Amino acid sequence: MNDSDFHSISLNSGSEDKNLTHFRVLEKKNHLQNDLRSCCGGTSDRRLVLMIAQISFSAILLVFCGTVLLVGHPGEDKAVYFSLISSIISFWFGNQISMEKR
Per-residue HEC secondary structure of 15-46 comes to CHHHHHHHHHHHHHHHHHHCEEECCCCCEEEH
CA distance 100 to 102: 5
Look at residue 28 and tell me whether its pLDDT is greater than 70: no
Of 46, 3, 43, the C-alpha closest to 23 is 3
Q: What are the tens digits of pLDDT across the range 37-78?
A: 777 877 778 888 889 999 999 999 999 999 999 998 888 888
Rg (CA), the chain: 23
Of the two residues 87 and 1, the one the predictor is more confident about is 87
Of 61, 31, 36, 30, the C-alpha closest to 48 is 36
pTM metric for this prediction: 0.58
